[in-house]
Every structure is written in C-alpha cells, then in structure tokens.
Amino acid sequence: MVGFASENEENKEDKDFDPKEMIMHHVKDAHGFHLWDWKGHAVSLPLPIILWTDNGLTTFMSSEFHHDDTGHHVVEKNGGKFVKLHEKIYQLNEDAHSVSFDAEHHPVNASTPIDISITRNVFMMWVSVIILLLIFITAARRYKKSEDNVPTGIAGFIEPLVVFVRDEIGKPMIGEHKYKKYMPYLLTIFFFIWINNIFGLIPILNGANLSGNIAFTFTLAMFTFIITTFSGNKNYWKHIFWMPGVPVPMKIFLAPIEVIGMFVKPISLMIRLFANITAGHIIVLALMSLIFVFKSIGVAPVSVAFSLFIGVIEIIVTAIQAYIFTVLSALYFGMATEEAHH
C-alpha cells in the first residue's frame, strides 16, 4: 500500500485527486517501473522502449521521457519524434514539433508506431518466469538427486500442487488415456497464472497487473483455443457441424450456435480472468481512494479494514482463477479428444 499512498499524495499536490485516473494508472500497463517517491522525485526503474517505426527498430530507455506522461516531452530518436501520453507512445508527424490535441484530448498530428516495449507487465512477467524456473527446476533436480524419488525440500512443497493438477484437473477432465500429452501445458498455465495473480497483489510492485491485462489473458486463451482446435478429432467436429442424435432441422439450427460456441469458450476464458483480477484491484484501489476523496485520515481505518478484507479474498481468488482457467482449458481439450460413445 506504500506505493499507492505516496503516488496519490503526489497527484493530490498537483491537482484535484482523480480516483479514476489513479486507478486506471495502476491497473493498466506502463513504460517504466515507478517504485516510490522520494522528496518529491519519483524513483523508478527505467525500462527499454522498443518501437517499430517507418525507419525500422527504434529503442531507448523510458527514463528519457523524464516521467512525463502528458505528451509534452519530445524524445528524438532514429529520425523520429516520440512523446508519451497516458502510457502510450506516439510518433509525431514529420513537420510537427509538439503534440496538439483535438477537443477530446486526442493527439491529431501523431501516429502510434508498433510498440513492443518491455513494459512494467513484461518486466514482471519475466521476473515471474525466472522465479518459476528456479522453483521448478530446483524441485526437479531434487528428484534426480534422491534415489528413491522421495520429494525433499522444495519438491515436497511443489509435488502436492503438481499432483493436484494431474489428478484433479488433467485426469478427470481429459481422461485417463490422453491426459499425459496435455500435462505440461496445464501445469505451466496454472502456475504461470497463479504466480502472476500473486504478483499483482504485492503492493510495492505497484500493481504490476499482468493477469489483469486483457492482452495477457487473450494470449493464454488463444493458446487454449489453438490447442483445442488442433486436438479436435472427428467426433468433436461432428458435434459442432452435424450434431448426432437430433433431427435434421435441429442439426442445421445447432451448427451455427456450436461454431459460435467454439469461439465463445476462449473469449470467456479471456474475460473471466481479466475481469476477476482487474475488479479486485479496482476495489482495493477505490477503497484506498476514499481516504483522499474525503480528505480525511479518519476514513483510513475503514478503508484499510475493507482493503484487508478484499485483499484476503483476492489471495484466494489468485488460486481459484488460476484453477478455473486450467480446469476449463482441460475441459475443452477433453471435449476435443472425446471418443464417440453413442
């Protein structure tokens, strides 16, 4: 909460406190990793900005914007002029020297280049990957060392989770004979989502909200969709396009619905994870904003108490959402590989 509070204070000094802007700032991705403020100066970790422009690849560090997020500070690199506005990088047109806005505060003389910067979320994703690799490769080594396959150390902590994913998700959803092929995916996705859900809850990381970002959930849902589609056997496709066991008019009626369902499944995966995690963050931040909205320290105990309550729920939600995503993915794989039994 330290990170939140200090930044709120800064905002308050600058202008009237706007909870919506503060919340969106925390929930959304950012170039650069703002850690805390120290004597009126923001302390942040600069992250590389990588752009694909007409002149090719352009890279520079986010610190070159000098914490400007209003589009005033222009960075010239590789023959292009760049500004940062609401955590979006704009490239000014050839003749422009500063950004000008229309009535709705959209830039008019700038375009958005393809932005593959190492943002806050990408950075945290890599941190989570390093931690996952450390944990699981260390655990795997433990087994290699012990001669009787007895889990010791971190393996003893990891094994129940792995066995849980195998016995409670893989086996029942996909089936005893085919689950093995999907286990690496299910395990990876479960722990990847879970650890990033947890990271999103750590306040000092400034709400690096990876699993609450729709791009992240979209990508994972796409993986599930692609794997489902490519695992689909004859029976699966028959159930979609020519539903067995119902009259012909019904078959024709059901086919478009089933085709839509094919796409709705991954979309629901994407939205469920994104909405759950983002909602949790928004609630906690909104409760914290109450202190600044009412401009009274007296609200703080209430805010903190409610945030704590929501925070505890969120801790449970981290695991539940990772579990649900994995279960549903497994379920879709199971449906795609199910053999006809009519």
In DSSP notation, 26-46 reads HHS--SSEEEEEETTEEEEE-
How many residues touch another protein under the rule CB under 8 A: the total is: 54
Q: How far is the CB of 302 from another protein (least distance, A)?
A: 27
Q: Is 309 in the site for another protein (CB under 8 A)?
A: no
Instruction: Count how many residues are written for the chain.
Output: 342
Q: How far is the CB of 248 from another protein (least distance, A)?
A: 40
Helices (H) and strands (E) in the chain, counts: 10, 9
Q: Is 313 in the site for another protein (CB under 8 A)?
A: no
Of residues 162 through 181, those in contact with another protein by CB under 8 A are 162-163, 166
Q: Tell me how many degrees the CA angle 34-316-216 measures, rounded to the nearest 5.
A: 50
CB 111 within 8 A of CB 90: yes
CA distance 98 to 120: 26
| Options 25, 26, 28, 239; binder of another protein; rule CB under 8 A | 28
Q: Is 102 in the site for another protein (CB under 8 A)?
A: no
Q: Is 85 in the site for another protein (CB under 8 A)?
A: no
Taking only Cα atoms into account, the Rg of the chain, rounded to an integer number of angstroms, comes to 24
Stretch that binds another protein, among 66-74, 125-133, 315-323, 334-342 (CB under 8 A): 125-133
| Options 43, 57, 133, 204; binder of another protein; rule CB under 8 A | 133
Distances (CA, A) of 108 to 89, 93, 99: 14, 9, 8
Q: Identify the three-state secondary structure at position 299.
A: helix
| Options 2, 108, 116, 260; binder of another protein; rule CB under 8 A | 116
| Options 2, 43, 57, 140; binder of another protein; rule CB under 8 A | 140
Q: Is 46 in the site for another protein (CB under 8 A)?
A: no
Q: Is 187 in the site for another protein (CB under 8 A)?
A: yes
Q: Which two tokens stand for residue 97?
A: 């020297």
Of residues 196 through 235, those in contact with another protein by CB under 8 A are 213-216, 218-220, 222-223
Q: Which positions from 256 to 275 touch another protein by CB under 8 A, shown as an x/- string?
A: ------------------x-
Distances (CA, A) of 209 to 30, 52, 206, 216, 262: 10, 25, 8, 10, 28
| Options 13, 16, 148, 176; binder of another protein; rule CB under 8 A | 148
CA distance 77 to 57: 10
Q: How far is the CB of 144 from another protein (least distance, A)?
A: 6
Residues 6+ apart with CB under 8 A from 182: 170, 174, 227, 330, 333
Stretch that binds another protein, among 3-11, 37-45, 94-102, 130-138 (CB under 8 A): 130-138
| Comparison of 184 and 298: residue with beta carbon closer to another protein | 184
Q: Which two tokens stand for residue 318?
A: 């981290």
- Write phi, then psi, for 18 (nearest 5 degrees): -115, 100
Q: Is 132 in the site for another protein (CB under 8 A)?
A: yes
CA distance 79 to 86: 23
Q: Which two tokens stand for residue 67?
A: 């914490």
| Comparison of 190 and 236: residue with beta carbon closer to another protein | 190
Binding positions for another protein, rule: CB under 8 A: 24, 27-29, 50, 86, 88, 114-119, 121-122, 125-126, 129, 132-133, 136-137, 139-141, 143-144, 148-151, 155, 158-159, 162-163, 166, 183-185, 187-188, 192, 213-216, 218-220, 222-223, 274, 278
